[in-house]
Structure 1
Amino acid sequence: MRIYMIGLFIFLANSLHAQDTLNLSIRQADSLFLQNNLSLLAEKYQIDIAKSIEVQDKLWNNPTFGVEISAYNPSRGAFDVGRNGQKAFTISQMITRAGKRNKQVALDVESTRKSEYQFFDLVRTLKFELREIFFESYYLKQTVALYDNQINTLTSTVTAFQKEYERKNISLKEVVRLKALLFQLSNNRADILFELQENQRDLRTLLSIDQPVKSVVDSSDILRYQLDRYTPAALQEKALQSRADLKVAQSQTKEAELNYTLQKALAVPDIEVGAIYDQASNYVNNYFGVNASISLPFFNRNQGNIRAAKSSIGYYKTAENARQNSITNEVNAAIQKVSVADKAYQSVESQFSDQFQLLSTGIYDNFQKRNITLLEFIDFIETYNESIKEYNRLQADRIKVYEELNYVVGEELFN
């Protein structure tokens, strides 16, 4: 029974530990990001706000109702509102002219569209950040695993050499130099772990979770990053059609044009029409009348707002053209980065890490057998670790520039 309980506790402990870390593929991370990210959820409220304003401006103006009663009649006393007293009722309705209401609604619709484009642009930006950190974390983990293996093996070597030193078979200098190498490897590992912790912080923030995230990457995730089927011209065209920030700029230009139309319409005065019933204060009792009023545009014809709206069209149109030029340059630069990264990656032999690993195992054996010197051994270990570290960094940078191309084009190019 005791053995059974111990086994149960071990099983539960392992289960809890497994739940501590969330193993995610890149697709799962994308899905969780779209569901949970608080910045995206907050931005959605901006769309709801814009749609609510759109609904509000579609409503007609409310009519105005007024009542007037006699407060005091010297011959009849206070509040003389009976059959022979005095009371009056008015009702009026503002009638807008020049299509102001429809023009305002059209402006609101475009504002809602702009809010949606801003949301998609935020998705584009944050997803690029998520994927960059995701793959960088994966390759940093690979480098940590390298250091773990080296530290474990070197620790055994140091222990063996310590015993040999105690037997007076080797010098203290060799033991101390090996310990210094072990200390250096531990420090390098700690630096990478610090970087991983910062990545974990950012991943948890982007995914809005509390658990540590482990990046799960297989060969298909890597092989899909190929540029063969796209030409620079096609990518530039895709970017000009897909970039949400360009659509925001285009929407701002459209808003400026709609606002200019609205401001010209606002110069046209509205008409207020109404009716009145007056019981006893007019030239006849029980008077019914109608009225209408309109402001006379002698002084204020909305000149300043019309001029500002017209200038805004030029401003936003210029900004839109600048954004188009910037996007074209960004796509060209991203394509060049991909080309450089691919050439650097392809220049490294596919068996690079395997050959180094095989040689590393032999180096430890030969060093312990004293077939190579201490300096040769340390030089190889430092070269090996730095090379594998840079190789992992190269792979992470390659995926990063491909994801940057996704980002500047505004589409998922490598599915």
Structure 2
Amino acid sequence: MRLLFSLFFLVVGFHSVLAQSVASQDSLLLTLQQADSLFVKNNVLLLAERFRVDASQAQILQASLYDNPTVTLEVSSYNNETRRVLDVGGQGQKTVAIQQLLYTAGKRNKRIALASEAAQLTQFELLDLLRGLRFDLRSRFYSIYFQQKTLARFDQQLATLQTTVAAYEVQYNRNNVSLRELLRLKALLFQLSNDRTAILFQLADDQRALRTLLSIDQPIKPVVADETLARYRLPTQTEDTLQQLAVRNRPDLKAIESLTRQAELNYNLQKALAVPDMRVGGTYDQAGSYIQNYVGLSVSADIPVFNRNQGAIRAARSQIQHQGQLQRQKAIQVGNEVATALQKVREVERRVQSVEQPFTDQFDQLNRGVVTSFQKGNITLLEFVDLIEAYNDSISQLNRLKADRVSAYEELNYLVGEDLFR
């Protein structure tokens, strides 16, 4: 019995400290639209990813640049006739040559095309990151909303039970009730405090994740209107239509397609690299040629005898086949994900519609009369405890079901790649 009392006061005390620490900070009231705007503006991961996009755009500029010309200067180290060191005067010797590399087979344009496609990939990756983080944001937002509703109900029950336990302690001291009855009520209060603490722990984790997504340090209090929840309803589109939307919209699928295009562009580039480039230049030789002040033109190129870039071409061809298989696999995965998400939406909607309104009304009506009936002696202690436990568990399960419902709809949005419920 001492252990029970110790645990009871420990949990209630810890629960009180945790609640006070949360309440000590001013909560930030946010609608979902406001949270979305704050997220796009402040999220650090999105800001960091935008720098990757800028860097990839710079790579397009780099690929478009021409190679710098090469200039060579040669002077005599010592003139035996004039006995002068580094003689570059009229009686000395100097040679100046300039050479420019000219790409053949459209290599420059192919490099630009490959860099442009790589930049496109970073944009798809940014969109996919945005899609995933927004899904997490909305799931956490509604999870916090329904957890706070559950906590509000639990707070009402805790206040009622604490009053009832206090009254029973008075009656126990007067020998009007047994110790067994008093302990049963305290055990019920202890269990409810434990359940509330578990919800507070989950709420703290969701708050931490949401604050990180929004890059703020205040607790969030979601503001959700009834019409906002009412917009989540079974989609009118067929399963095939939703799958086609996903194939058209999903940035992760577009990223796979971009990798396939990059493999094709790289194959074209590798074939072009097998064609030798040309080097064109000019030479001025003051006194070292068959005539004074010799000026000549030069053209040079590699002879593709041994290295015709065979290995790189073969590897690029295999990479195209590899990416093609991954793209087909991703398309199958996307279709199955949408079908599964739609199935989950239909199931959770069926469950919510079957229990929500009549179930909630009946339990609220019953709960309002439970305490009064118990105090008047119309129901036994065992019936009172069973009804309170059933009510608390049902309210918790119902709010969790509502949160799961919204999460299922948002998951369908996430997997289709489009906001279907505006």
Please give the range of the TM-score, normalised by the shorter of the 2 chains: over 0.9
| Match of residue 69 from structure 2 | 63
Is 2:124–2:251's contact at 8 Å kept on the other side of the alignment? yes
Which runs of 5 or more residues in structure 1 are unaligned? 1-16
For residue 101 of structure 1, report the CA deviation from its aligned partner. 0.1
Partners of 1:157 and 1:399 in 2: how far apart? 37
| Match of residue 286 from structure 1 | 293
Partners of 1:252 and 1:180 in 2: how far apart? 61
| Match of residue 152 from structure 1 | 159
Is 2:46–2:129's contact at 8 Å kept on the other side of the alignment? yes
1:345 to 2:352 alignment? yes
| Match of residue 105 from structure 2 | 98
Partners of 2:32 and 2:306 in 1: how far apart? 64
Counterpart of 2:188 (choices 178, 181, 185) is: 181
Amino acid corresponding to residue 42 of structure 1 in structure 2 = A
1:266 to 2:269 alignment? no
For residue 355 of structure 1, report the CA deviation from its aligned partner. 2.6
Counterpart of 1:361 (choices 339, 345, 368) is: 368
| Match of residue 33 from structure 1 | 39
1:398 to 2:405 alignment? yes
Q: How does 1:162-241 map to 2 (within 5 A)?
A: 162-241=169-248
Which runs of 5 or more residues in structure 2 are unaligned? 1-22
Amino acid corresponding to residue 303 of structure 1 in structure 2 = Q
| Match of residue 372 from structure 1 | 379
Amino acid corresponding to residue 407 of structure 1 in structure 2 = Y
| Match of residue 43 from structure 1 | 49
Local SS of the residue matching 2:418:
coil
1:245 to 2:252 alignment? yes
| Match of residue 5 from structure 2 | none
Amino acid corresponding to residue 132 of structure 1 in structure 2 = S
Counterpart of 2:338 (choices 331, 337, 340) is: 331
| Match of residue 318 from structure 2 | 311
Partners of 1:128 and 1:319 in 2: how far apart? 25
| Match of residue 412 from structure 1 | 419
TM-score with structure 1 length normalisation?
0.94
For residue 243 of structure 1, report the CA deviation from its aligned partner. 0.5
Amino acid corresponding to residue 285 of structure 1 in structure 2 = Q
For residue 75 of structure 1, report the CA deviation from its aligned partner. 2.4
| Match of residue 84 from structure 1 | 91
Local SS of the residue matching 2:378:
coil
For residue 68 of structure 1, report the CA deviation from its aligned partner. 1.0
Partners of 2:28 and 2:211 in 1: how far apart? 10
1:23 to 2:29 alignment? yes
Is 2:107–2:272's contact at 8 Å kept on the other side of the alignment? yes
Deviations 1:174-227 (A, max 9, x none): 111111111111111001000001111111111111111111111111100112
Amino acid corresponding to residue 401 of structure 2 in structure 1 = L
Partners of 1:149 and 1:21 in 2: how far apart? 21
Amino acid corresponding to residue 269 of structure 2 in structure 1 = L
Local SS of the residue matching 1:89:
strand
For residue 41 of structure 1, report the CA deviation from its aligned partner. 1.1
| Match of residue 17 from structure 2 | none
For residue 403 of structure 1, report the CA deviation from its aligned partner. 0.6
For residue 303 of structure 1, report the CA deviation from its aligned partner. 0.3
Amino acid corresponding to residue 286 of structure 1 in structure 2 = N
Aligned residues: 399
Amino acid corresponding to residue 240 of structure 2 in structure 1 = A
Structure 1 segments, 4+ long, off by >3 Å, are none
For residue 165 of structure 1, report the CA deviation from its aligned partner. 1.5
For residue 116 of structure 1, report the CA deviation from its aligned partner. 0.4
Counterpart of 2:393 (choices 374, 386, 398) is: 386
Amino acid corresponding to residue 352 of structure 1 in structure 2 = F
For residue 105 of structure 1, report the CA deviation from its aligned partner. 0.2
Deviations 1:30-84 (A, max 9, x none): 1111111111111111111110010011111111111111111122221111111
Local SS of the residue matching 1:23:
strand
TM-score with structure 2 length normalisation?
0.93
Percentage of pairs with the same residue: 50
For residue 349 of structure 1, report the CA deviation from its aligned partner. 4.4
Partners of 1:109 and 1:294 in 2: how far apart? 29
Is 2:211–2:217's contact at 8 Å kept on the other side of the alignment? yes
Partners of 2:350 and 2:365 in 1: how far apart? 25
Local SS of the residue matching 1:297:
coil
Partners of 1:288 and 1:140 in 2: how far apart? 86
Counterpart of 2:129 (choices 88, 109, 122) is: 122
Partners of 1:290 and 1:182 in 2: how far apart? 98
Across the aligned residues of Structure 1 and Structure 2, the Cα RMSD in angstroms comes to 1.2
Amino acid corresponding to residue 84 of structure 1 in structure 2 = Q
Partners of 1:237 and 1:79 in 2: how far apart? 76
